[in-house]
Amino acid sequence: MKYVIVTGGVMSGLGKGITAASMGRILKNKGYDVTAIKIDPYINIDAGTMSPFQHGEVFVLKDGGEADLDLGNYERFLDIELTREHNITTGKVYQAVINKERRGDYLGKTVQIIPHVTNEIKERLRNVAKNSGAQICLVEVGGTVGDIESMPFLEAVRQLHNEEDMEDVVFIHVTLVPMDPQGEQKTKPTQHSVKELRQLGLHPDMIVTRCKMPVLPGTKEKISLFCDVPAKAVISAHDAEDIYMVPQRLEIEGAAEYLLSKLNLKSRDDLKEWDRMVEKMRSISGSVDVAVVGKYTDLEDSYLSIRESLKHAGIEVGCKINAYWLDAEDYEKEPESINQLSKYDGILVPGGFGVRGTEGKIFAVKYARENNKPYLGLCLGMQTAVIEFARNVLGYENANSSELASTEHPVIDLLPEQEGVVDMGATMRLGDYFAELTPGSLANRLYGSDAIIERHRHRYEVNPKYIDEMEKAGLKFTGRNKNRMEIAEIPGHKFFFASQFHPEFKSRPNRPSPPFLGFVRAMFEKTD
């Protein structure tokens, strides 16, 4: 097994995850199977309990693991499916070590960071890499070198490097090369970051420099001299027009060739699939405007997978997606402002938890339904569509979700098998679930299949008591998992599709999610 370990220095938010994913992509283009692991130094067991404002979106994996959004980037760039084991957190590691200590596995020894915690980290890295069946394992160490939280992980990868063959472990360090007011590229932050890394016993084999403009040859030479790496191992990762162009940029800089030589590997293929996708993206001419009516719109990373899924569909259709992130609460404060949605080509209501902003989402659904505006609802976006239909078509004015309010018409509710469960986490549907599609329905046409598997993250369901009445009135449930409703649509509407699942988690640059593709096509047809 070959390991490519990516660390970050100077500051957070440099794009370490995109760099790691892009490195994986160019290695895959050379014919190698690549997997990825993200190390998050926080003490949380996973990202499931974190606010989107704190940490961006929670990315749901096929086995129901709730993970950091970088795992979404890995899945999209590498076109693979990962599991919860591919996200290692301090919480998971310490929980495992403490459980072993309580069982007596350490035979009375004093349990310490070294060797017990570091051994646990190394064991997890090796097991995940081996079980993946891949040839190369990317390991992104979250945080910034110098953070106290990252120390056990950096020590663990140092030990891993010493225990594996020299040609099997490569270190990539991502740093910042800022520019002063005169436009000079400054190398001191990189020098200090590498110095701190070397004090921990780690020596970078490659330095990826983030900068607004291409890093100049003289700047590379200076970094090479002071950081003790070859000049060809100093890679410029200057700002790109789009993240999907980063692999090409790293390839041009010689990153693939140098990485393969350090790993003692030869290029097997030169796959062009990614290049063709990027060229298709460059050639886009038309555009559509979509209103995303959500509750975490101040931070776009809260809806990262939605943004990328819209982009994937746009590439396939041949149009640019102009997404406008609108706060659902604004429509609650000023209901008359809902008419501003007329200027958009489509409306998307994403998922979320809690009562805040829900009424504003319901207003947006009502506008889309009554004005024949293309509509895509995701998770809570489906539940609000059901609530809106019950209120304004069936006439149940106080219809609601029992999660949000006490009501005599709980059209969204806990199913009987979920009631009385004290541990609410036990009632959450997470990860892959199967659904049967109604033949001839929009869902059936979009997927081109009679059955699908999609990822979920929710607790409440459409109440079966109201299904027959809703279907007679025109809201059809065309995707079902036994007594759970997975898809709702309105036949005759230009495009009205809502899913209880999150199709955005399985969308890929070369394989857009079918609901997103249908939604974008419906919007683009209107603008032609």
Q: Is 244 helix (H, G, I), strand (E, B) or coil?
A: helix
Instruction: Please give the helix or strand (H or E) that residue 286 lies within, else none.
Output: strand 286-294
Tally of helices (H runs) and strands (E runs) in the chain: 18, 21
Rounded-to-integer distance, Cα 20 and Cα 7, Å:
9
Q: Is 504 a catalytic residue?
A: yes
390-399, long-range: CB < 8 A, 24+ apart: 390/466, 390/470, 391/362, 392/366, 393/473, 393/474, 393/475, 394/466, 394/469, 394/470, 394/473
Question: How far apart are alpha carbons 342 and 270 in whole angstroms?
Answer: 47
CA distance 172 to 166: 15
Strand 34-40 vs strand 375-378: parallel, antiparallel, or unpaired? Answer: unpaired
Stated as kind and residue range, the H or E segment containing 118 is: helix 118-132
Spot the catalytic one: 379, 388, 454, 458. Answer: 379
| Contact predicate 127/120, CB 8 Å | no
Q: Could you tell me the two tokens for 52? A: 């989107």
Active site residue 319: no
User: Any alpha helices (H) in 441-510, and if so which ranges?
Assistant: 442-447, 467-473
What is the distance between the terminal CA atoms of the chain, rounded to a whole angstrom? Answer: 51
Cβ atoms of residues 348 and 292 within 8 Å: yes
Tokens matching residue 28? 């895959």
Strand order through the sheet with 2-8:
87-89, 34-40, 136-141, 2-8, 169-176, 206-211, 234-238
* 379 catalytic residue (yes or no): yes
Query: Is residue 116 within 8 Å of residue 156, measured between CB atoms?
Result: no
DSSP labels for 170-211? Answer: EEEEEEE--B-TT-PBP-HHHHHHHHHHHHTT---SEEEEEE
CA distance 181 to 169: 39
Q: Which residues are catalytic?
A: 379, 502, 504
